[in-house]
Amino acid sequence: ALPVILDGDPGLDDAVAWLLAAASPELDILAVTTVHGNVPLDLTTRNAGVTLALAGSAAPYFAGADRPVVRPAVTAAAVHGATGLPAQNLPEPARPPAEGHAVHTLIRHARQRPGEVTVIATGPLTNVALAFRMAPDLPGLLREVVWMGGSTAQGNRTPAAEFNALADPHAAHMVFGSGAALRMVGLNVTMQCIATPDRVQALRDLGTRAGAVSAELLTFYAGVYRDRYGLDGGALHDPLAVAGVIWPDLLEWAPMDVQIEVQDGANVGRTTCDLYGVTRRPANARVAVGVDDAAFFARLLERLATLP
Ligand code: BDR
Ligand code: CA
């Protein structure tokens, strides 16, 4: 199985993403690492423990960066609820967070298995950027970084910026400038993957705790997405990044240059994607530009059905 580290800020779609990862025999989860983001770090770390307990996963989890590298923190509690996991009857974490920092964990695993480890990042890129600063050999040692973030088009937190990009644009700038093998799964594809009421019902109908909790989380999320974006449910952003690793054929990928705006102002956090190659700059990422939404949801449901 492919050795992966799941780095994120659960956050309800991060939680569903990690359930998908835990249910997928293609992946060997070496560690889960948490970062500030949707809610503050103490909550994303607790939610990591809760999510692993829900999945019945024994993977260790490590707390990471509690704030962006330069800018003040932004959170998204309005989208994810005050705790980040707005559901009843959540299990307690089976164990506390492991000793050690997320950044050291990333470096250690990458050095132990050069060329093998994939990082699936579903939050602000602070941990990955700090790891790259502390270990300049790291970009070349990872198999790949697959990030849910950015967009080839409009943003969701500001007209220009997607949340994970806005929540640490300097970190994203560092990672996209690092030379690491990168894939970006942005809003241009994730906003096509909506957890509609029928889909939420299908999760509930699984009759499992993981299905019931996923349905409850996505029901809360749907309310926000209806009010804010006029959509028929919440977007399955982070699960699509995990899907991109397990089933790359579900998405269409295009290599291109991506620059992240770090200057304050209306465009901060914008991921400027050179779709047409007009700059002639070499590609620094493979960007998802198309998705088979129906197949994605069918496979997600099938996998979540295998959890307790
Ligand atoms: C991203 O922002 C977060 O709120 C979600 O968890 C996802 O990672 C979508 O813009
Ligand atoms: Ca996230």
pLDDT computed for residue 89 by the predictor: 86
The alpha carbon of 42 and the centre of ligand 1 are apart by a number of angstroms equal to: 18
Cβ-in-10-Å burial (0-12, 13-18, 19+) of 78 comes to exposed
Are 166 and 269 in contact by the 8 Å Cβ rule? The answer is yes
**Which sign does the torsion angle of CA 193, 234, 198, 243 carry?**
positive
With a threshold of 0.85, tell me whether the complex ipTM lies above it.
yes
Instruction: Write out pLDDT tens, residues 187-217.
Output: 999 999 999 999 999 999 999 999 999 999 9
Q: Which two tokens stand for residue 21?
A: 């990862």
The pLDDT value recorded for residue 267 is 98
Which residues of the chain carry a pLDDT beneath 50?
none
Any atom of ligand 1 within 6 Å of the Cβ of 126: no
pLDDT digits (tens, 9 = 90+) for 168-181: 999 999 999 999 99
Q: How far apart are CA 191 and CA 145, in angstroms?
A: 21
Distance, in Å, from the CA atom of 95 to the CA atom of 187, rounded to the nearest integer, reads 34
Q: Is the CB of 269 under 6 A from ligand 1?
A: no
The pLDDT assigned to 123 comes to: 98
Ligand 1, atom 4: nearest CA belongs to which residue? 38
- pLDDT at position 203 is 98
Question: Using CA of residue 179, residue 30, residue 51, residue 84, what is the dihedral sign?
Answer: negative
For residue 143 and ligand 1, the question of a CB distance below 6 A is answered with no
**What is the spatial distance between Cα 308 and Cα 298, in angstroms, rounded to a whole number?**
18
| pTM metric for this prediction | 0.98
- Positions marked catalytic: 237
Given a contact cutoff of 8 angstroms between Cβ atoms, the answer to whether 217 and 16 are in contact is yes
CA of 278 to the centre of ligand 2 (A): 31
User: Which of 34, 43, 163 is the pocket-test mutation for ligand 1 (most atoms within 8 Å of CB)?
Assistant: 163
CA of 308 to the centre of ligand 2 (A): 23
d(CA 128, CA 124): 9
